[in-house]
Amino acid sequence: MLTTTLLFFATALAEIIGCFLPWLWLKKGGSPWLLLPAALSLMIFVWLLTLHPEASGRVYAAYGGVYVVTALVWLRVVDGVKLSTWDWVGAAVAFCGMLIIVAGWGKTI
């Protein structure tokens, strides 16, 4: 489960970077050259999602929980926005959802 979680965090970073760089270009007057590393980052994101042994829908559902946590940490670290208690509670709930889904991989009731 640790490997899966770390892989999800790497995946989330690749997705966020791939979306953040075009945002810098469009909203903050950044260089259009930012689109090249953005495209590369999104290709890495897609590739990382294929490394999981489960069905794609289950991987996407579990990944969502880690994405929420990563996006909020990005908000705090990169954007400098202070997180609220509600942000942290929501992140914890989303992360627990991921853990529950991953714990059930390969098991049926």
Any domain includes 66:
yes
User: Is there a domain that residue 96 lies in?
Assistant: yes
In a domain, 54, yes or no: yes
Please count the structural domains in the chain.
Answer: 1
Q: Is residue 27 part of a domain?
A: yes
Find the farthest-apart pair of alpha carbons in the chain and give their distance in angstroms, rounded.
Answer: 53
Using CA atoms, how far apart are residues 25 and 93, in angstroms rounded to an integer?
A: 33
Residues 62-74 as b or e (16 or more Cβ within 10 Å = b): bbebbbbbbbbbb
pLDDT one-digit tens code per residue, 37-82: 999 999 999 999 999 888 888 899 999 999 999 999 999 999 999 9
* Residue 108 included in any domain: no
pLDDT value at position 34? Answer: 96
Residue 59 inside a domain? The answer is: yes
Q: Is residue 56 part of a domain?
A: yes
Are 102 and 1 in contact by the 8 Å Cβ rule? The answer is yes
Note whether residue 109 is domain-resident: no
| Per-residue DSSP letter, 82 | P
Whole-angstrom distance, CA of residue 34 vs CA of residue 99: 34
Domain residue limits at 90: 2-103
Residue 106 has pLDDT above 90, yes or no: no
Residue 41 to residue 25: CA distance in whole angstroms: 15
